[in-house]
Structure 1
């Protein structure tokens, strides 16, 4: 990290000293309660606020006037978080006093229980400057670990106060005592947030406690020598974070670090293992796996190449065509090799029904009721979905294949040098109707928020060409209802994807396409689904 600006360094020093002083006064209040001690704490509220504001202002100026490297941005924003949580300690300090002042029989609080806990918090504040100036992550971790000790102290107090509530008439006093304990518990949470901000400064990326320990464990398993740093790549909608482990000297990516909720990371691990056993070489290798409490992390082989999204948006037409051709070849081979005779239900209308509430939260204007226009009845969108759901249940795919499950164009990597396709983000992989992947891929192209006309034309052509690849496969496999199921799959993907689109114009285009496709599928007579023709060119045009 670059050296701290003098203004930030000085104000942070004064802020830490001020917060320690206020905590010391709180400790003194519980040792010898007096109105004078309480008043001194209340009177100091403005000074801590002013110091915090100065730090925030200095960080903003620094962000504006210095080179905006990711590491500098993370460091300055983390300093803002540190100042904010130090101020929060001061606010919690005063809240403790407010609750304590409402206790009529002060001995019920048993105030001598609190000084040892406050001393823990003061010990954490005392380590902040040293951890920051020395880039000492071990010291930063010690600050965060105090949260657990403070939480254990709170749990003991909670049991004591709640048990006493059953045997006394002074329940209000005990309730206020419990609130005092709760405010001090929140001080521990602020210490952990400060700790995470300090660690983020040291490693150059925003992390929480769980992520830091997972990264430490994974790097210990990573059998390599050298100096490495971590760089953020992406954050998924499921809450996982993805980072690159990069050699500081060569700047080559050595591995990819992915962490998040334990269940989702375990699903990702299982998906990668399944692909490596079913179709080796398509998925990356898992280098290491760690789990801790409710989170988990993976260290995954880095795959060279470009995502399909990067190719579509930035690369020349001949490379885009080459990548699509290889994708088609790879997919058809996967589908043939993993094909089973078991029927597969797409279930797209059921999926859409579950996601409608999320769509309406982002776009409430899409919610409609049944209406009548010049004697023509227009059903509500939910009614269309229910009708299509019944139709879809009677039209299964004649076989199952192993699918990606989340076949967005940023989950497909093409290596031009090796002319090779790889898949990533495999936590939803399973045996199912391949129309699921086809529809997701086509709509993930359409929803790219690009206004440039030539690029939009390329996107539409790519979607149509991909459809032709999948359609030819369907014909060779005697899959006669492919178009019908794809119409419903596209209907689902168009509508459900609007929850990720802020632009009202594009979202409306997608939603209307969804309604049109579902209505078009419903006009097909029952038993005639094999004759249905999907109007792809009409749909994939702007």
Structure 2
């Protein structure tokens, strides 16, 4: 960990001492509840706030010269969190005191139980400076583990107070205030855990919580690599809450593995998806090096795949490499689809998917809530009404076969290795047998929604989408899939509309929203039974 500047270290020491002094006074109040003791605590409300403010100001000043993702920046951010949670403990001390002062029969609080709990909080505060200066994650962990003991104390108190509710000699207001006092100590334990996680994050150079740290340590032991020999850098944060990091060798700066953690069910789905791809089409998915689960979270250590994401290629590389990557992608997809094809018809269900996500879209873009459109004296139906009609039409037009699809075929989930001229897939938790139009529509719209608006880049994006469409359309014709374009229109409509929830640029989002409506209107204008003759005007859709 980068050494903290002297002014921050000094103010942090003063802040820890101040919090400890307030906790001592609170302990004294539980032993002998006097107004003088209470006043001494209340009168010091500004001290902790001022010290925290000095630490935060110093951190902001130091961060002005640090890159956002370097170790110094993370250390300073961690120190901000430590200072903030220390002041939170001071606030909780005063809050618990206010609740205690409202108790008429003080014995109801069972005050003799509290000095031991206060002592646990003091132990945590006393260890902060040592854990910071020694850069010892084990000492930081000890601070966080005090939360478990404080939580156990809280549960015992909760049980005792709720039992007293049946005692007619106890005043209900006294029991309620006693419960509130206990709750404030429970929150102090949560603050100690947050401080512990901030210190660990500073030490390892990666923002972590307890579950993530233990998962990472366990996986590193499986990799047979000492944690001191590697650095950890965040690659991405997924929308589902998972975090993805690169494990780098300190000496060579090469990525040795990828660490992914998150909700146990999501990580389990990812693991199963990778396994399925290895059995169905070996070599396309990365290898799983290790898997660990802990409580409701889990983590994977995944093989690092060389190459560039398709997003990077579209935005940053030349036409030659882009065309080479696109050709490799098209060839790979057609081979996967041929090898995994089954005779089972597949329902795309894109209009049902869109209907379920309209609420999420309109929380970001409330202007997309339509009751009807009035134009030239005519009232056009709302998009919601069009979706209901289109869902009925779509249910009657199924894909003639099923194939194994990626399931989340965005441009950042596709990796191309120019050296080997090979495609790899990542983020595979949604893989399943399905209509291949699902992946086709998601890929095309994930290109279009890239938020780079200069004319040349938009042309490149359009070229990729149109070339990909032509390639897949040729595959569909060879496979006798006559309704491919009709289903694709509805799939694109779904992807355009639902993707707007990730776009804050109002103009770009509106272009996507209008394209979704246009595609649904075009699909509904096609006479029932004529879906095989439906044709998409793709240039009108993808050329800005």
TM-score interval, normalised by the smaller of the two chains = over 0.9
Which segment drifts farther, 372-381 or 132-141? Answer: 372-381
Secondary structure in structure 2 of the residue aligned to 1:114: helix
Aligned 1:101-500 pairs, distance under 5 A: 101-168=101-168, 169-224=170-225, 227-500=229-502
Once residues 507 and 379 of structure 2 are traced to their aligned partners in structure 1, the CA distance between those partners, rounded to angstroms, is 26
Once residues 359 and 372 of structure 1 are traced to their aligned partners in structure 2, the CA distance between those partners, rounded to angstroms, is 22
Give yes or no for contact 2:271–2:288 (8 Å, CA) kept in 1. Answer: yes
Once residues 314 and 66 of structure 2 are traced to their aligned partners in structure 1, the CA distance between those partners, rounded to angstroms, is 34
Q: Which runs of 5+ in 2 are unaligned?
A: none
Give yes or no for contact 2:67–2:73 (8 Å, CA) kept in 1. Answer: no
| TM-score, normalised relative to structure 1 | 0.99
Report deviation, 1:66.
Answer: 4.4
Q: Compared with structure 1, are the counterparts of its residues 67 and 273 closer, same or farther at alpha carbon in structure 2 (3 Å cutoff)?
A: closer
Give yes or no for contact 2:2–2:71 (8 Å, CA) kept in 1. Answer: no
Question: Which residue pairs with 1:45 in the alignment?
Answer: 45
Which segment drifts farther, 428-437 or 166-175? Answer: 166-175
Report deviation, 1:224.
Answer: 4.3
Deviations 1:254-279 (A, max 9, x none): 00000001110000000000000100
Once residues 52 and 229 of structure 2 are traced to their aligned partners in structure 1, the CA distance between those partners, rounded to angstroms, is 35
Give yes or no for contact 2:246–2:259 (8 Å, CA) kept in 1. Answer: yes
Secondary structure in structure 1 of the residue aligned to 2:283: coil
Once residues 202 and 522 of structure 1 are traced to their aligned partners in structure 2, the CA distance between those partners, rounded to angstroms, is 59
Deviations 1:114-157 (A, max 9, x none): 11011001000010000000000000000001111111111111
Question: Which residue pairs with 2:81 in the alignment?
Answer: 81
Deviations 1:415-456 (A, max 9, x none): 000000000000000000000000000000000011221111
Report deviation, 1:372.
Answer: 4.3
Q: Which runs of 5+ in 1 are unaligned?
A: none
Secondary structure in structure 1 of the residue aligned to 2:399: coil
Q: Compared with structure 1, are the counterparts of its residues 85 and 410 closer, same or farther at alpha carbon in structure 2 (3 Å cutoff)?
A: same
Secondary structure in structure 2 of the residue aligned to 1:365: helix
Secondary structure in structure 2 of the residue aligned to 1:345: coil
Secondary structure in structure 1 of the residue aligned to 2:345: coil
Deviations 1:30-73 (A, max 9, x none): 01111111110001111110000000000000001346552111
Report deviation, 1:377.
Answer: 3.2
Once residues 453 and 402 of structure 2 are traced to their aligned partners in structure 1, the CA distance between those partners, rounded to angstroms, is 37
Report deviation, 1:371.
Answer: 4.4
Once residues 451 and 380 of structure 1 are traced to their aligned partners in structure 2, the CA distance between those partners, rounded to angstroms, is 29
Once residues 225 and 127 of structure 2 are traced to their aligned partners in structure 1, the CA distance between those partners, rounded to angstroms, is 33
Deviations 1:289-323 (A, max 9, x none): 00011110000000000000000000010000000
Equivalenced residues, count: 542
| TM-score, normalised relative to structure 2 | 0.98
Once residues 535 and 147 of structure 1 are traced to their aligned partners in structure 2, the CA distance between those partners, rounded to angstroms, is 61
Question: Which residue pairs with 1:518 in the alignment?
Answer: 520
Once residues 166 and 172 of structure 1 are traced to their aligned partners in structure 2, the CA distance between those partners, rounded to angstroms, is 13
